[in-house]
Each structure stands twice: as C-alpha cells, then as structure tokens.
Amino acid sequence: MISLQGKEGQALLDPNVLSYLVNLNQKNEQWIRELEDEAIENHVPIMDKIGIAFLEQIIRIKQPENILEIGAAIGYSSLRMAYAYKHTKIVTIERDQAMYERATHHIAERKKEDQIDVIFGDALDVAETVEQKAPYDLIFIDAAKGQYQKFFTMYEKMLSPDGMIVTDNVLFRGLVADHRDASKRMQKLAEKINSYNKWLTDHGSYHTTILPVGDGIAISVPKAKEEVSE
C-alpha cells in the first residue's frame, strides 16, 4: 500500500518515468476506478498502480490455487488478484470493522464471494481459522508494518513447498535507506521494516529478492532442502 513516494514526497523513481509507468498500467474498468477513488477519499492505503500490476503478473505466472492475504483493507487487492487468475481461492484477513464491512460489500458487489473469503480479526489471532484452508501457494503480507516478521513467522508454515511469500512496502517511501528527516513515528516504522528486510534477506530457509516496484516488494521462495542452513 502507499504510493511510490520517498521522504518529503520525493519519488523513488524519476517523476517522468513514474508517470509513464502509471499511465501504462492504468486500468479502465469502472469498478477499479471506483475503489481507487474510495480509497483516496477515505484515506485508505491500497497498493499503488505499479505494485498491483506487478502482483497481478506474478499471479498469472504462478497460477496459485490458494492465496492468503494479510490485510484486506477495502478488498481492492484481493479483487485484483481474483480477476488476475479466476481459478484461485483467496483467504484475506482484516482486523478493522469498517474496512471488513467495505471489503465484504465490494466482494459481494463483484459476485466474488465464492472465490474470496474475508476473515475478521487480527492476523496474529486467527491463524487456527486460516490454517483450515492451508496450504497456500502464495502468501501476501500487506498489513501492520511493525508486525511483518511476526506475520511471516506465523504463516510460513502454511506455505506450500513450491509457494512464495510476497511482502509489500518494504522500501517504505525510501525511508529504510535514510529516515533522518522523518518524524519519530516514521523513523520507528522505517527501523522496524529495515530490521525485517535484513532478517528476511539473511533467512536460512528462503531466497529473497527486494525490488523497487511500487513502495518496494519482497519476494521470498523456500530454499531447496540441500540449501537450507543449519
């Protein structure tokens, strides 16, 4: 979630290049525009246009049978994923009551209830329920940034052997590289995400690549058994 902007509004990409990519990835479906407008109007953080286009392409290539999304918000990304591959089943978690209600509304409006199951609750509390539909071929982490490592550790056991874990916002507006001019709150978040990134890239059981797409996307895939460190 969050747009591709650095500290003090500085873009992580050249503004002209960013504008070019956004225009190329512009979706004209009315329902997409309506959800994007709703997110802007109500200050709901949703995945940016470049990031969601990248995620859709991953799903088209991977063709996951089951997806777990941690952080539904208003249902924007789960719907985009559902349309990217019509045979996938998605479980998405949302802890905010108002967001949960908007997500279920939008999913019902698009007649995707059979494809997307929204679970109300904190992702740290509903693992037992989520596990009932495991394993997942793709796990998408896009919720409370300070809890990323806990989410990863809790749900990686539900990943299929050839699955992948995708984490959004790992560059956090560029603040992971330099947060000296940010507010104290943003500095703390940047430090937590930076810690997560280091933990993730050093993880003994996963290969992780972090890409400067959207607000930064990490892709983690399990190492082969012979590669796993003790």
Extract the annotated binding site. 47, 77, 94, 122-123, 142, 168-169
Beta-sheet strand order (sheet of 136-141): 116-120, 89-94, 66-70, 136-141, 159-168, 217-222, 206-211
Annotated binding site for Mg(2+): 142, 168-169
Q: Cβ(170)–Cβ(196) under 8 Å?
A: yes
Whole-number Å distance between alpha carbons of 22 and 14:
12
Annotated binding site for S-adenosyl-L-methionine: 47, 77, 94, 122-123, 142
Q: What's the token pair of residue 224?
A: 């082969």
Whole-number Å distance between alpha carbons of 193 and 175:
9
Identity of the amino acid at 97: Q
Q: What are phi and psi of 5, to 5 degrees?
A: -125, 140
Whole-number Å distance between alpha carbons of 217 and 57:
13
Q: Cβ(82)–Cβ(55) under 8 Å?
A: no
